[in-house]
Structures are given as structure tokens and as C-alpha cells.
């Protein structure tokens, strides 16, 4: 059996809108982009939404729009996709890492204030795997110290924290969603900036379009800008997907529940009480009680967490992944800590042991197949291979 790690959920509705654009005279900066922007702004409850060609581009533009530049510092997490830190380096600012909470994988707010210096300009939390960070605590820290909050909600569209949507104005000055094919909704490639700040929105619109002014006059450039535009074909996909977003989130919830039922006898979710599991080194995803709605991006398990040494933890993880691959089951390590990436080691001198909770998560985490089309039989197959691999390990 072949079980894919991820698959987009595309229907005739998406195909019809893309065909509509293909048969139109406008393939960029057209009505579908404006419609998609309005749909996301309305859904999240923001005044402005600015479509871009990737979540990475969106983060970069927000960093620039908030005036973060050379010598400034931004506090963030090392347990993330690398773009959430690279976006500071593009402007010669420095990402300052603090460790994560062991259960959620999100930045630990209790460690943030100790990392604040006179150079700190912002906090950039990441909603890992779709679960919002402790955004109220982060917002309060930022308020006390006069810092901007840029929420990386690239993995969390539709999630809610204490009844408020990820990316909303309750918790951040600006946020970014991403729409890669493995996300809750997809535009192929693409991202969306959301903010309530009119000036930030104007700057982002200008900078995504080579620095042109709001009138978009051809070859008239008011500031340094980039080719970060979203094309109309991608926006058409986005419009159709936003029309189905509740359906798509519900489908992913169904798959997460299938995994929880099938794997529940093998392990406990982190932080949960109960009888001893058959595989004590296995952890299932944990959703914090403050997260009033989880919009699942990926389903990440942890294996080998009870092993006595880092080497043994990594060996168990690698063994399970090898067995998955031999069985035709898609899987990936999620995430490799940013501070241990070769480029960051060379640039900042990071080493193993700097952020131990992040490193333990990186050694033990595996993303297993997760998409809207997964069947009970496929979930059962994944669980059976997992149990066999853990028994061997």
C-alpha cells in the first residue's frame, strides 16, 4: 500500500474558477486577487489582507513594514520552518531564539522577557502545526515592553485561541498565512498578510509590487520593492478554497480523530493522565485547553522520548521512519531545529545543547500521512507499521 504524506483537496469548484481566469484577459493583479483578499480579511476579522506569492514573502514584508532593520533583534522560536527566522536576516536583523514548551512545541512565553534587550523590536511567535502559541501572554509581554508582535500563522488558518481566530487583531499587529499544497487551504504557492494598520497595509501592497505606489503606475517606483505578487490563477484557487474552508477543516479534524482513536491504545497525548501505554516512548499531538479550535496542518507524533540518550532517541526516530518508507508510507522529520542548521551554526555559533527542549523535539518528531482523503484502512495500516517498528526499536 502507498500512503501519501499529503494531498491537496481540489474539486470542480476550484477548476471552474481557474478556467474562468484562464479565459479572461487578466492573469495578474486582477479581480480574483481582490476577492481572495477580502474573503480572508472577513474570515479572520481584519481590516486589510494583502495577497503575496508565499508565506515567506509575507513575513519578509511585515518585517520591513514595521521598520525592523540592521542591528535590531526579534525574539522567536528555533522550532519552526526556517523562513520564520530567515525573514529577519533579509533585513540584517537578528533572530533571537528562546526555547519551546515541551507539550505544544510553541515558543515558551515564560522565557521571552529574559531575552529582551534594548535592541529588541518585535516578537515573532509561530503557531506550530496549526496550534496557536500562547498569544495572550505574548501580547501582554509585548505591550509592557513596547514591542511589535508578528504572528506566523502560516500553519494555522481557522484555528482559534480562547475563541479568537489565529491571525486576528486580538493578538498581533500583523500576521501571515501560507497556502502551500499541504496546508489547510492551498493556492499552489501563496501567502496572505493580514493587519489592521492602514500604513502597514499600504507599504506591503507597494513592496509586493516592485515598490510601486498605490496607483500602480507602470515603471513608477516609490520605494524598494520585490516581485512578491500573487497571480490570478492562484487567487482563483484561493477563492474557491475559502468558500469550502469549513468543510476542509472538518475533514482534517476527522482524520485527526481517526488517528487518535487508532493510536490511543499505544500512547497518551502529552500532558494526559491514564493507564500505562503499550509504548511509553510514543507521544501523540497535544492540544492545549486554551486552543478552542484546532485547525490541523500536520499530524506529528514523537517516538523514543523515553530513551536515555539523544543518540538513542534519534536512532528510534530514524528506525521508525525507515520502516515507514519501506512500507510505502510518507513521513518527514518535523522540524530540524533552526539553530542547528549549518548556516545558522556558522553565522551565530549555535551548538547542540543551546535549546534542549527544541532539540529533543527535533530528534523525536515525525509527521505521518495527513490529508483530507485518508481512509480508515490507510490510518490502520500506518498504525500497524508504527506499532511493529516501535516493538523492534
Active site residues: 183
Beta partners for residue 388, in sequence order: none
What is the spatial distance between Cα 31 and Cα 15, in angstroms, rounded to a whole number?
A: 17
Side-chain-side CA neighbours of 55 within 13 Å: the count stands at 27
Question: DSSP letter string over 214-282?
Answer: TT--TT-BSS---B-PPBHHHHHHHHHHHHTHHHHHHHHHHHHHHHHHHHTTT-EETT---SPPS-TT-
Question: DSSP letter string over 17-41?
Answer: HHHHHHTSS--BSSHHHHHHHHHHH
What is the spatial distance between Cα 280 and Cα 260, in angstroms, rounded to a whole number?
A: 16
User: Which position has the grid cell 506569492?
Assistant: 53
Question: Residue-wise over 313-339: b if at least 16 C-beta within 10 A, else e?
Answer: bbebbbbbbebbeebebbbbbbbbbbb
Nearest to 304 by CA among 312, 295, 296: 312
**φ/ψ of residue 248, rounded to 5:** -65, -40
Residue 206 grid coordinates: 507597494
Nearest to 50 by CA among 214, 218, 265: 214
What is the spatial distance between Cα 116 and Cα 150, in angstroms, rounded to a whole number?
A: 16
Residue 318 grid coordinates: 530514524
Nearest to 393 by CA among 364, 369, 356, 355: 364
Amino acid at each position: 500500500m502507498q500512503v501519501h504524506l499529503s494531498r491537496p483537496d481540489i474539486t470542480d469548484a476550484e477548476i471552474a474558477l481557474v478556467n474562468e481566469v484562464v479565459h479572461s484577459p487578466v492573469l495578474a493583479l486582477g479581480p480574483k486577487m481582490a476577492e481572495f483578499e477580502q474573503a480572508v480579511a472577513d474570515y479572520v476579522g481584519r481590516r486589510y489582507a494583502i495577497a503575496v506569492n508565499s508565506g515567506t514573502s509575507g513575513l519578509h514584508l511585515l518585517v520591513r513594514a514595521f521598520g525592523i532593520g540592521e542591528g535590531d533583534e526579534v525574539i522567536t522560536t528555533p522550532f519552526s520552518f526556517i523562513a520564520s527566522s530567515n525573514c529577519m536576516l533579509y533585513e540584517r536583523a537578528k533572530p533571537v531564539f528562546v526555547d519551546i514548551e515541551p507539550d505544544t512545541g510553541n515558543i515558551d512565553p515564560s522565557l521571552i522577557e529574559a531575552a529582551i534587550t534594548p535592541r529588541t523590536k518585535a516578537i515573532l511567535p509561530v503557531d506550530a502545526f496549526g496550534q496557536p502559541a500562547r498569544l495572550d501572554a505574548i501580547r501582554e509581554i509585548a505591550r509592557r515592553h513596547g514591542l511589535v508582535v508578528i504572528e506566523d500563522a502560516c500553519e494555522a488558518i481557522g484555528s482559534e485561541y480562547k475563541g479568537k481566530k489565529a491571525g486576528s487583531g486580538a493578538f498581533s499587529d500583523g500576521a501571515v498565512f501560507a497556502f502551500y499544497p499541504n496546508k489547510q487551504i492551498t493556492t499552489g504557492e501563496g501567502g496572505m498578510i493580514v493587519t489592521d494598520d492602514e500604513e502597514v497595509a499600504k507599504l506591503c501592497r507597494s513592496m509586493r509590487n516592485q515598490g510601486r505606489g498605490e496607483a500602480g503606475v507602470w515603471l513608477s517606483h516609490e520605494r524598494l520593492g520585490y516581485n512578491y505578487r500573487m497571480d490570478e490563477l492562484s487567487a482563483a484557487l484561493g477563492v474557491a478554497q475559502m468558500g469550502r474552508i469549513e468543510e476542509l477543516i472538518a475533514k482534517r479534524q476527522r482524520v485527526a480523530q481517526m488517528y487518535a482513536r487508532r493510536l490511543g491504545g499505544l500512547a497518551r497525548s502529552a500532558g494526559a493522565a491514564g493507564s500505562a501505554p503499550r509504548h511509553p516512548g510514543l507521544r501523540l499531538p497535544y492540544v492545549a485547553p486554551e486552543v478552542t479550535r484546532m485547525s490541523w496542518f500536520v499530524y506529528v507524533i514523537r517516538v523514543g522520548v523515553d530513551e536515555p540518550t539523544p543518540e538513542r532517541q534519534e536512532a528510534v526516530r530514524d528506525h521508525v521512519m525507515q520502516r515507514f518508507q519501506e512500507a510505502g508510507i510518507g513521513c518527514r522529520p518535523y522540524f530540524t531545529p533552526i539553530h542547528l542548521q549549518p548556516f545558522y551554526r556558522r553565522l551565530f555559533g549555535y551548538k547542540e545543547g543551546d535549546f534542549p527542549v527544541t532539540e529533543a523535539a527535533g530528534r523525536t518528531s515525525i509527521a505521518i500521512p495527513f490529508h483530507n482523503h485518508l481512509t480508515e484502512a490507510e490510518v490502520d495500516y500506518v498504525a500497524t507499521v508504527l506499532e511493529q517498528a516501535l516493538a523492534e526499536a
